[in-house]
Amino acid sequence: MLLSGNVSGNENTKNVNLTCISNDKSMNQTVIIFANKNKELNLQFGFVNGNVVRVDVTDANYILKHEIGPEELTKEEKIQVIHVIDRTTGVKNETWITPGKEPGFFQGKCQLVKAKF
């Protein structure tokens, strides 16, 4: 697997595990941000509900990007999804850019997942 071999090199760093709920409670998402960059690609990855996402980390935000659509479609034909999670407050803004349509916006809140037992 492309991601698993390069994300656990440093035992002092941990993946970020989040659970996110939209403000209207209609959408729950599980977000995992891998601690380390893929050395071969020089990219950081994660998952949103099992979908592989590219991750950019700034001092203020986690920015996760991925595409939705069949493999045979070009990037321009697919839905572009951008998640911006505030690293201080946990506020999440999600934008869906669909070709030929107005962008869709979703807002919510994320929390760190903590073991219950």
Q: Is the pLDDT of residue 50 over 80?
A: yes
Provide mean pLDDT across the span 25-39: 91
Q: Is the pLDDT of residue 70 over 70?
A: yes
Provide mean pLDDT across the span 22-29: 94
Check if the beta carbon of residue 79 is closer than 8 Å to that of residue 87.
no
Amino acid letter for position 87: R
Task: Answer yes or no: pTM beyond 0.75.
Answer: yes
54 or 2, higher pLDDT: 54
SS3 of 23, please? Answer: coil
117 or 35, higher pLDDT: 35
CATH T-level assignment (fold) for domain 15-112 = Lipocalin (2.40.128)
Per-residue CA distances from 4 to 41, 54, 57 (Å): 13, 14, 19
Q: Is the pLDDT of residue 10 over 70?
A: no
